[in-house]
Structure formats: structure tokens, C-alpha cells
Amino acid sequence: MAHPWILQRYIFRELRNNFVLTAAALTVILSLGGGIVQMLKVGEVTPGQFFRLMLLIVPVAAALTLPLAALFSTAVTYGRLSADNELVACRGSGINLHVLMLPTVGLSLVSASLTFGFANYLIPGLIRNVNEFVGSDIGALIERRLKSRRVISLGGRYRIHADEFAFDPAEPSRVTFQRVAFVEEDRGERVRFGTGREIEMNIQRDEKMIRASGVMRALCVYDRRDGRFIDSSEQIIPESEVAPTLPRNIKFLTLGELLHYRSHPEEWGTVRDAVAKLRLSQTQVAALEALLKSWRTDGRITLGDAPRRMVLKADSARTNPRSGAIDLTGIILEESGQEKPRIVRATRGQLGVETAPDRLTTAHLELFDVRTSERPQIDVLPRTSIGPLPLELATAVPPIRDEALVSTPDGPNDFEMLVNRRMEARRVWADTARHILGTIHERAAFSISVFVLVILAAALGTIFRGAHVLTAFGISFLPMLLVLITIISGRQMARHEASHGLGIALIWSGILFVALFDGWIVTRVLRR
């Protein structure tokens, strides 16, 4: 047998040259065409930042073009060898054609390894760098967001518009909005609208999120729930999150992070928020049960604190699991702490509680057919609301692990709000776990597909004599398109509970088909 290693070096050199040129050309086209920029949806950058941003985007484009470059270069190289009858000459010299496939195996292993590393580490890392780069100047980021969107959102609770924006680079954590209008939301409902002279914000940034808190001054507010206007000198804005330029997404996590959240899904943002809401509902139910216990023990419920304290008496009280409140009848409410003590009587009413993330529990009363006596005056109202009033009850819930809390079975007498929050937490938990698992399988399948596709491209290039550019492109692109369709379709199906197992199987089905086709074409067809 002749020395095959000389031919292998020759083939490898041809593969290397075609691979490098093809990868460089595709990277430049993809980067300058703006496809990656559009995919990342980065729009809040200056021209100078855009140029610097391109230096981060080019490696991402290169990572996406490596598989196609490997397929194309393999098809062109072996197609030319076949078209020039060089492979026929090698076979006539007694050289096994399978030996000449070793350079392809080497290129496929290198391409698959690079693709795996890029997909699991390089691309997520660069996307995180893009986010930190664009949001490094917090004041400028908020200013551009106000100019482009005319509004900034704080944690989903406040939406703020400002005519002017003041920012001192010497104090990057402090910004001021002037002549502002805002909307305050509660559980998706717009509850308050208002205008103000200014909002002074204190902004802090950590490695994951931008957080803001502050104070609004000289306010005129309309409260939709109470149906009245309120003038206030100032109002505190609790700490909220300002969404980053690129929201934290599972597809942007590294492999190590995916494996971590796979084992601990309760630490992922959406799951953590759903579990936190469930805990608040649990605390709220505990507060209602404590209030009802107080009524059963003493025949009264104490609301508020000094100087405004109220004693609530009722003929009957029972929890309403559907409304998440206590239904009352024959109500007498004695309010102290004023110059003229007030007594409120109502035919019926509801006592509800709200629990904030800081564990401050407050009560609010909704009374119907009300008679209010403030000596010597008596007012008659069809309906009135009182609250919020702080509670001085021990409503602490025993600590319980997140997984145990979510998996707690629903009881027949559970409050509807608690059941709904528990169902939502279970859904988010399961969806996140499936999404993470599907992403891990997707990346692994895409990386392994490069190995089997490159071998297939070499075999098809040899058979069809794919030295022509269009022939080589078809040989390399069509099998890859088939595999991509199965991977993407399987990933989408894997995110749903009913089709999770089928989706995982579909992700690998295209690769399995190509691998079987590789075995058949290499062992049977190339021998002919």
C-alpha cells in the first residue's frame, strides 16, 4: 500500500483552507448583515457603542457559521477529488477510501467540539457582556430608554413618564425625573394615576439586575378604587427592578448554569417569584385564620395601631374561600384615637388582608348599609371602605422548603387564591424544568449533529462529485436543514407537558437518521 498519510495531509490542507475561507466569509456576511444584532434586539446604543458592540458580536456570528463552513468545505474538497478522479487513482493504487476519510473525522470532531463550547459557554458569556456593556452607564441607559420609549417601568408596579431627566456623572446612583406622570398597577390592574413635580431615584446595579427606589414629591393622584383625588407632599417608591437591555433568559445560560438550575429550579427568577407569591398567599391565609380565631375567642377583632385603633364586633363571621376574605354580619366598629370617638354600624361586610413582600400584613374593611355616628351627627351610606390598617397578629408561617410548599396537596377547604397560586407555582416550576432540559438536549444534539453531518457531506460530495459550488451547497445545506427542523420542532414540543417525551425523542431523531444513513453510505455505497 502507498503512504496514505501523505494523501491525508494533502486532503487535510485542502479542508483547512476551504474551511477557514468559508467561515471568514460567512462570519463577515452575517455580522455586517445585522442578523445577530436584530436577534439580540439591542436598540439602545450610540453609534460609538454600536461599533464596539460589533467586536463582541463577531465571535457570536463565527460560532454560528462554523458548522455550515465545515459542511461546505468538506463537500467541496471531496467533490473536487472525485471530479478529478483522484479518488479513483487512489483506489487503483490499493488505498482504502475509508482511510482517506480520517481528515474528515478530525475536522468533524474539531467542529463539533467548537460548536459545543461556543453554544454552551462563548455565546452566553458574550451576550452577558453585551448586556453589561450597554447597561454599564445606568444614567445614560435610563435617559435613552425615556427618549426612545417615552416611559420607564419599575418592577411591573410603576410606569413613569418624565419631561426632563437630570443625571450627575459624579453620583451615578442618583437620578431625578422632573414634571412626571405615572401609573401604578396592582396585580395587572391600574389602580392609581398621578402627576408630580419630581421623582428622585436611587439606582443600584448588581451582576443580574438594576434596582431602583425613590420618592415622588408634590403629587396629585386619582385613586380608582376609592374614586377620589388625593394631594400628597410625597410618596415612597419601594425598591423595584428595572428590566435590563437583554432580559435574563434560559437560552442565554451557560451549561454549568443550566445544570445548576436543572437541580434547583426554585432559584430561577420566574419560579422564585411564583413561590414568593405563594408564600405571601399562605401568610395571608394564616392572617385570616388568626383574625377569625380572635373573633371566636373574644367576640372581637382589633385592627390598626396607635393612635388609630379599631375594635370590630360582629354577630357572625366565617371565612369565604372563594373571595379570600371573612364574611361578617351585624357589624359594630368602634374607632378610638380621635377627639370624637366614632361608631360605625353595618348590616354586613367583608374583612380582607393583604401581605406585602416585606411581610407587613394589613387589613381592609368593605362595609354595606352603613350608619356612622359622630356625636351628634349620623351619616347613612350604602357602602364604605376602611383601610389599610396594620395588624398586630402573629401570622408567621412555619418555614418549609420551596419544593415541599409547591407540592403540598390541595385541601377541600383551601382558599381559592391559595389554590390558584399553588397551581401557578407548580406550572411555572414544571415549565422551567422542561425548558432547561429541552435546552440542554438541543445544544447537545446540535453539537453532535455537526459530526455526523460533516461525514455525510464528505460521502455525498464524493458520490455526486460536488466540486461545483451550488452542488456542494445543496449537499451541505439540505441535510443540515433536516436536522435543524427536527431539533427546533422537538425543542418546542419538549416545553409542553403533553409532548415533552416526544419532543426529546424528536430532537435526536434527525441525528439518528443521518447517523444510520452515514453508516449505510460509507460501508455500502463508497465500496462501489
Q: What's the gap between Cα 150 and its chain centre?
A: 24
pLDDT tens digit sequence for 90-112 = 777 777 777 788 888 888 898 88
Measured CA to CA, the distance from residue 189 to residue 240 in angstroms comes to 17
**pLDDT at residue number 48:** 61
Inter-CA distances, 139 with 294, 325, 376, 493, Å: 51, 44, 58, 42
Measured CA to CA, the distance from residue 305 to residue 136 in angstroms comes to 45
Contact 250, 432 (CB under 8 A): yes
**At a CB cut-off of 8 Å and minimum separation 6, what does 1 contact?**
93, 94, 95
The answer on pLDDT for 246 being more than 80 is: no
The answer on pLDDT for 68 being more than 80 is: yes
3-state secondary structure of 289: helix
Q: What's the gap between Cα 15 and its chain centre?
A: 41
3-state secondary structure of 145: helix
For the CA atoms of 251, 254, 255, 259, the dihedral, rounded to the nearest 10 degrees, stands at -80
Residue with cell 474539531: 110
Measured CA to CA, the distance from residue 288 to residue 391 in angstroms comes to 11
The band of 226, judged by pLDDT with boundaries at 50, 70 and 90, is: low
Mean pLDDT of 272-286: 84
3-state secondary structure of 383: strand
Inter-CA distances, 213 with 99, 210, 270, 321, 324, Å: 67, 10, 21, 35, 31
pLDDT tens digit sequence for 165-218 = 776 666 666 778 888 888 888 766 788 888 888 888 877 765 556 677 788 888
- Determine if the pTM surpasses 0.75: no
Torsion angles phi and psi, residue 45, rounded to 5: -130, 150
- Exposure string of 317-331, with b = 16+ CB inside 10 Å and e = fewer, is bebebeebbbebeeb
Pairing of strands 158-167, 152-154: antiparallel
